[in-house]
Amino acid sequence: MQPPIPTGTVLQNRYRLLSMLGQGGFGRTYLAEDLGRFNERCALKEFIPSQSGAYVLDKSKELFQREAAILYQIQHPQIPQFRATFEENQRLFLVQDYVEGKTYRALLNERKAQGTAFSETEVLQLMRQLLPVLAHIHSKGIIHRDIAPDNIILRQQDHLPVLIDFGVVKEIATRVQSVETEHQPTTVGKIGYAPSEQMQSGRAYPNSDLYALAVSAVVLLTGKEPQELYDDRSLTWYWQQWAKVSPGFAQVLNRMLSYRPGDRYQSVSEVVQSLQALANPSVVTPPPPAPPSATQATDPTSRMQTLAVGRRPDSTVPSPNAPRRVAGPAIPTQTETSVWDNPWAVAGIVSGLAIVTLITTFAVVSAIQNSSNNRPEATPTPTETATPTPTPTDEPVEYSQRLNLAPGDTTSVEGTLRANEVVTYIVSAEQGQTLSAAINGEGVLLSIFAPNGDLVEGNAERVQQWRGTLNFSGEYYVELRPVRGVEQSDYRLDLNLEAAPEPEPTPTPTPSPSPTPVEPQIETEQLSFPAGAEGVEVSDTVSDRLTKRYVVNVQEGQVFSAEVLEGAATISVLYPDGEPVPDAEGVVFWGFQVPESGDYIVEVVATEETDFTLGVSATAPTEPPPE
């Protein structure tokens, strides 16, 4: 493992390291100032692979760029803005905005030192401020995977919680490691905070983030760690005895903490509705869905709500326009006798009704026969009988099945779909891969949904076939529904996944003959600093035929820098032996701590005649800040 980078080092001729903010098993985080943005502070995350070698570095670069493209999509004021990625000396770096403030872990430690923890009001406010952030990233198909008090900062500027550390560096490390260790599943998340499906299989869903948020909430409420509040034998959380919260809020948290993903809230909006109901009890909200029965699919990754067979879904949620039933006072038992209490009276009434019915039936039949005899030529009109509306006994039933489909593979699934059934097949795929789906069966149509729950691009709703390039990495859902009016239909679903195409090499254009270039004239000048000064500025003119070369004597350990202050010129820096300094060619600024004493060279060049001003300095290195 490479050692930490010394304080004061300038990376990419732009980022000057001020201090190290933290270090973990997968990387380090530095506080730096961006010399290209008026010394604005930023956070640099360095990825440290657990293995070495060309393959690990190449694979890390590929994943780094892919994850950077995902982070670039996130534009939210409570998430540090992603800036750039770069590589230097076989180290990979990710640059983000720096957030000034304290983590909720640090705030909790301060409370615990005083013998207190967070109140229900404070935790409720935190959740209401963070839930819109989760809704934003989930809408883009992004799962945070690492929500914990350590990764939530109370920003000093506006006192809003900021969500940091999306687990990108950790996920890159585990993906690289999983390839090196026979494709073991990648797991990202903190033990105790991440749910079981995330830690055991590496799969994470929107309600996996909701689970971690609820764990963070109970930790802040109780001041105790998850291991102290969770019984892994009974799979039960025992946190309420350590916190004073209202029953309604406790019910919301407990549902978010459910062991089975299907028993939790399925989206941020459901949690928001429940919290709104706590603040305004008069608002009528739908009750939570019933637990699935034994005949239902139990895969927690199903997108759709599964309904129990035989239960009318419209009976669970009252219509907003339906009259509300008001329970009246209990009716006391009547002491007066009714005619229906006399068995002889009831028997007489029934007998009378039977006699009247027989007489009426006889009269109707006679009238029909007489009418038929008088009109022998007429075509008899069939008697219309009212078809009773059948009582629905087959309510919609939804199933889901996960398919293992690797790039280059084709798979087929056969089945039978009834009028009241929906089947969803789940396929994991990567961004840039091509998915093809075709359904063979006259009574079944398919729809394809992206990891964020939206239909994929193109005509992908209730069609017989679809083919397209995937825009996101994650789980895609192929949903089969019967055509209306078809009672039952056999089908065969054919799926094919193609690997992302390799980028086509850019053809090298045939060079056209060009005139022999004229070597530029080089003028050399020795620079010396005035007495008591650490720098000097010079102005002159350069062009495509004239290069200015300045020689500066610098002592070992000094920080030597050169910068074009005015003019459309660039500089190159050379060691005393004439060898160019790496990455210091064709730049407008360069600064580094010189490894040896000698005469360093700064060359100023331009493509056309340009007036310029050059600033050169040699200063003593800054002392690292005290720990």
CA angle 240, 245, 248 (to 5 degrees): 100
The verdict on residue 317 lying in a domain is no
The verdict on residue 173 lying in a domain is no
Do 592 and 88 contact (CB within 8 A), yes or no?
no
The proportion of the chain whose per-residue pLDDT surpasses 90, expressed as a percent, equals 40
pLDDT, residue 168, reads: 53
* Whether residue 225 is found in the same domain as residue 192: yes
Greater model confidence, 155 or 360:
155
Closest CA to 286 of 263, 270, 303: 270
pLDDT, residue 626, reads: 53
* Whether residue 188 is found in the same domain as residue 220: yes
* Whether residue 429 is found in the same domain as residue 539: no
Structure confidence at residue 589 as a pLDDT band (50, 70, 90): confident
pLDDT, residue 507, reads: 67
Active-site hit among 146, 150, 165, 209: 146
Span 453-460, average pLDDT: 86
Structure confidence at residue 210 as a pLDDT band (50, 70, 90): very high
CA distance 322 to 38: 63
CATH number of the domain to which 475 belongs: 2.60.120.380
Answer whether residue 134 shows pLDDT above 90: yes
CATH number of the domain to which 203 belongs: 1.10.510.10
Structure confidence at residue 292 as a pLDDT band (50, 70, 90): very low
Answer whether residue 320 shows pLDDT above 60: no
CA distance 550 to 552: 7
The verdict on residue 568 lying in a domain is yes
Answer whether residue 218 shows pLDDT above 50: yes
* Whether residue 157 is found in the same domain as residue 35: no
Other beta carbons within 10 Å of 214:
27
pLDDT digits (tens, 9 = 90+) for 378-416: 334 333 433 444 434 445 677 778 888 889 989 999 888
pLDDT, residue 331, reads: 31
Question: SS3 sequence, 488-523?
Answer: EEEEEEEEEEECCCCCCCCCCCCCCCCCCCCCCEEE
The three-state secondary structure class of 131 is helix
Residue 128 has which token pair?
Answer: 């209401």
Least confident span in 91-105, 172-186, 230-244, 310-324:
310-324
Instruction: Count the domains in the chain.
Output: 4
Other beta carbons within 10 Å of 270:
20
End position of a domain, from candidates 255, 282, 309: 282
Span 52-60, average pLDDT: 70
CATH number of the domain to which 23 belongs: 3.30.200.20
Closest CA to 495 of 470, 527, 521: 470
* Whether residue 125 is found in the same domain as residue 257: yes
Give the domain range for residue 550.
Answer: 521-619
* Whether residue 80 is found in the same domain as residue 110: no
Strands 610-619 and 10-11: unpaired
The verdict on residue 380 lying in a domain is no
DSSP state of 463: B
The verdict on residue 22 lying in a domain is yes
Q: What are phi and psi of 46, to 5 degrees?
A: -100, 130
Answer whether residue 160 shows pLDDT above 90: yes
Structure confidence at residue 622 as a pLDDT band (50, 70, 90): low
* Whether residue 571 is found in the same domain as residue 453: no
CB burial of 51-69 (b: ≥16 within 10 Å; e: otherwise) equals eeeeebbebbeebbebbbe
Answer whether residue 79 shows pLDDT above 90: yes
* Whether residue 38 is found in the same domain as residue 156: no
454 is catalytic: no
* Whether residue 151 is found in the same domain as residue 37: no
Answer whether residue 143 shows pLDDT above 80: yes
End position of a domain, from candidates 222, 250, 282: 282
Q: Give the contacts of 320 (CB within 8 A, at least 6 positions apart).
A: 284
Q: Give the contacts of 574 (CB within 8 A, at least 6 positions apart).
A: 580, 581, 600, 601, 602, 603
The proportion of the chain whose per-residue pLDDT surpasses 70, expressed as a percent, equals 72
* Whether residue 92 is found in the same domain as residue 107: no
Sign of CA dihedral 327, 329, 330, 335: negative
pLDDT, residue 530, reads: 85
* Whether residue 12 is found in the same domain as residue 77: yes
Structure confidence at residue 99 as a pLDDT band (50, 70, 90): very high
pLDDT, residue 8, reads: 95
pLDDT, residue 352, reads: 62
Strands (E), 24-165: 27-34, 40-47, 82-88, 91-97, 101-103, 152-155, 161-163
CA distance 53 to 176: 12
Least confident span in 89-103, 173-187, 504-518, 579-593:
173-187
Do 82 and 72 contact (CB within 8 A), yes or no?
yes
Tell me the HSE value of 588 on the side-chain side, using a 13 A CA sphere.
11
Answer whether residue 10 shows pLDDT above 60: yes
pLDDT digits (tens, 9 = 90+) for 463-497: 889 999 998 888 899 999 988 778 888 899 999 99
Q: At what angle do helices 268-279 and 206-222 cross, to 10 degrees?
A: 40
pLDDT, residue 387, reads: 40
The verdict on residue 324 lying in a domain is no
Answer whether residue 52 shows pLDDT above 70: no
Span 257-261, average pLDDT: 93
Structure confidence at residue 453 as a pLDDT band (50, 70, 90): confident
The verdict on residue 624 lying in a domain is no
Greater model confidence, 308 or 601:
601
pLDDT, residue 513, reads: 62
End position of a domain, from candidates 282, 315, 345: 282
The verdict on residue 334 lying in a domain is no
* Whether residue 226 is found in the same domain as residue 107: yes
